[in-house]
Structure 1
Amino acid sequence: MFTGIIKGVFNIHRVVGKQDFMTIELKLDEGLCEGLEVGASVAVNGVCLTVTSVDDEGSVASFDVMQETLRATNLSGLQEGDQVNIERAARFGDEIGGHLLSGHVHDTVTVQDIIKSENNTTLVFSFDAGWQDYIQPKGYIALNGASLTVGETVDKGVFCVHLIPETLRQTTFGSIRKGNLVNLEIDSQTQAIVNTVKAYIKGQTFN
């Protein structure tokens, strides 16, 4: 499990691509590498990946990315030098500053617009309208692994989030551009409630 509080932005050290498969290497700082072992879970742009190796110096970690993950996320477009959001798995006793995440990305959304003012930035995203019922104004959402609050649903298939300077500094959103793909994880509680209500209404309709 993860909390959606990004611990930093790190560059892709190396990418090895194969048929429907990819291995990525990340060079992490000392704090994030502490106690990192093979089998540990790390969220890379919000995608829960398993550490497959750690170099002798304990600073470069490798992760394998399978076909379904490549299909459903933005990891397939990563290249050496690209930046990604990183979070280590939550531990018992950690402060939950965001909201609980599984690291199982549902889909990608596209940056439609970037609106900047003196101290705030608004990102506008377009998304598959099939997720519309789960993206609620002021509700939780995770984008590239960052726990955020939905600002407004601007239109069908369009929503926005408002970001403070600290979020821009600590995540890849500081350098995001129009057209970029961003990983989307729907809040699990919202999804469960919506699905339960839908099933109830459907059952009432047929009774």
Structure 2
Amino acid sequence: MFTGIVQGMATVEEVQAAPGLTTFVIRLPEDKTDGVAIGASVAINGTCLTVTRQEGSALYFDAIQETLRLTTLGDLKPGDSINFERAARIGDEIGGHLLSGHVHTTATITETIRPENNVTLWFEVPEQWMKYIFAKGYIAINGASLTIGEVQDNRFNVHLIPETLRATTFGTATEGTRVNLEIDSQTQTIVDTLARLGYDQPPQPR
């Protein structure tokens, strides 16, 4: 499990492609790899991956084709920056909301608004996922727990404070960039339960 509080940015050093498998070599800040063990879980842009090898502060992760299909990891290339979070431990503060690291879909940044001291990003989402996105609800974008601002048709926005821009890759986000989305699990459960009970149907005329 993860908290959605990004612990920093790391750099993709190498992408090793093999049939059916891609290995990412990602270098974390040296003070963020203490206690890492083979088999540990780390969220890379919100995607839970397993450490398969370690060389100093460089960690190796394998991703199969299904992972690449469902996420933006297949877009990564050497030199790219990513958000990372190591798995939460019992007793850690949950500053965001609980995440599984299982990406549901991807979205595209369609607009960036940069007034003084903050940024608003608009995202376009596949329409079938919009039923889980509500104003002031939770969502995880590239592993960061964020509060949804406005919702319009198949778009929504988030408002980012300077600290979020400093600590994550959102500080350099540009229009056209794809991101990973993890829907809030509680919201998904409630919406799906109500749908099974028939409450998602329009009222019948009398």
TM-score tier (shorter): over 0.9
Q: Which residue of 2 aligns with 1:160?
A: 157
Alignment equivalent of 2:167, drawn from 167, 170, 192: 170
Are positions 1:200 and 2:206 aligned together? no
Is the 8 Å Cα contact of residues 9 and 172 (structure 1) preserved in structure 2? yes
Output the amino acid matched with 1:48.
C
Are positions 1:141 and 2:136 aligned together? no
Aligned-pair identity (%): 55
Post-superposition shift, 1:113?
0.2
- Structure 2 residue matching 1:201: 3-state secondary structure: coil
Q: 1:30 to 1:198 in 2, by over 3 A?
A: same
- Which whole-Å CA distance do the structure 2 matches of 1:24 and 1:161 have between them? 29
Q: Which residue of 2 aligns with 1:86?
A: 84
Is the 8 Å Cα contact of residues 117 and 161 (structure 2) preserved in structure 1? yes
Q: Which residue of 1 aligns with 2:34?
A: 34
Is the 8 Å Cα contact of residues 20 and 70 (structure 1) preserved in structure 2? no
Q: Which residue of 1 aligns with 2:121?
A: 123
Q: 1:13 to 1:156 in 2, by over 3 A?
A: same
Are positions 1:19 and 2:39 aligned together? no
- Structure 1 residue matching 2:198: 3-state secondary structure: helix
Are positions 1:182 and 2:175 aligned together? no
- Which whole-Å CA distance do the structure 1 matches of 2:201 and 2:74 have between them? 43
Post-superposition shift, 1:174?
0.4
- Which whole-Å CA distance do the structure 2 matches of 1:120 and 1:203 have between them? 36
What whole-Å deviation, never above 9, does each CA across 1:117-157 have from its counterpart, x for those lacking one?
0011100000101011100100000000000000010x211
Alignment equivalent of 1:97, drawn from 95, 98, 109: 95
Output the amino acid matched with 1:75.
L
Q: How does 1:44-123 map to 2 (within 5 A)?
A: 44-55=44-55, 58-123=56-121
How high is the TM-score relative to the length of structure 1?
A: 0.95
Higher helix share: 1
Output the amino acid matched with 1:46.
G
Post-superposition shift, 1:30?
2.6
Is the 8 Å Cα contact of residues 9 and 28 (structure 2) preserved in structure 1? no
| More deviation, 109-118/27-36 | 27-36
Output the amino acid matched with 1:198.
A
For structure 2, the 5+ residue unaligned runs are none
What whole-Å deviation, never above 9, does each CA across 1:43-82 have from its counterpart, x for those lacking one?
0000000000011xx3111000111110010100100000
Output the amino acid matched with 1:140.
Y
Q: How does 1:5-16 map to 2 (within 5 A)?
A: 5-16=5-16
- Which whole-Å CA distance do the structure 2 matches of 1:130 and 1:94 have between them? 34
| More deviation, 196-205/77-86 | 196-205
Post-superposition shift, 1:204?
9.5
Is the 8 Å Cα contact of residues 110 and 125 (structure 1) preserved in structure 2? yes
